Amino acid sequence: MSAPDRTEPIADDEILYRRIPDSQGWYDPQVSQHPSPQAFRPTRNDSTGLSLVRAKYKAAEEAARGQPGKAYFVAVLRVGDLRAEGIEVIPRLQAGDPAHAELPGLTYENRRSDQVLQWETLLAERLCLRVEGPFPRLADPQAG
């Protein structure tokens, strides 16, 4: 039996992760159970859609991997909840990251639109099921 190619459609019951850098202050469990809407703001890297990770293929600890020496939280979302609010979710296979998914309606180019600003708030305040972490990032064992 061959391994799945991980480009199959994303089911409504799937869980997604959004990495949140601890250093940005976008989530503080002492202040709120919800992350800041800024945690869902598209960056320059989100040219085709806001990046997420499919829990079906990666654990939260893996989804939290970012820059060496930095800690990250992970926002947990359910696909069906996003779709019920009109937020499209698609698989987008990327080299080195087959669990990658995107929200194509939230891009760097349209990040200032009223719709995206509304979705950022909705994702943070209503659709985020919980936040896990922080997960510390150890120095890269391949370095040096």
**pTM listed for this prediction:** 0.89
At 88-114, the pLDDT tens digits run 999 998 876 779 999 999 999 999 999
> What 3-state DSSP class applies to 108?
coil
- Confidence category of residue 138, pLDDT binned at 50, 70, 90: low
Mean residue pLDDT across the chain = 90
Question: What are the distances in angstroms from CA 106 to CA 41, 100, 116?
Answer: 8, 15, 6
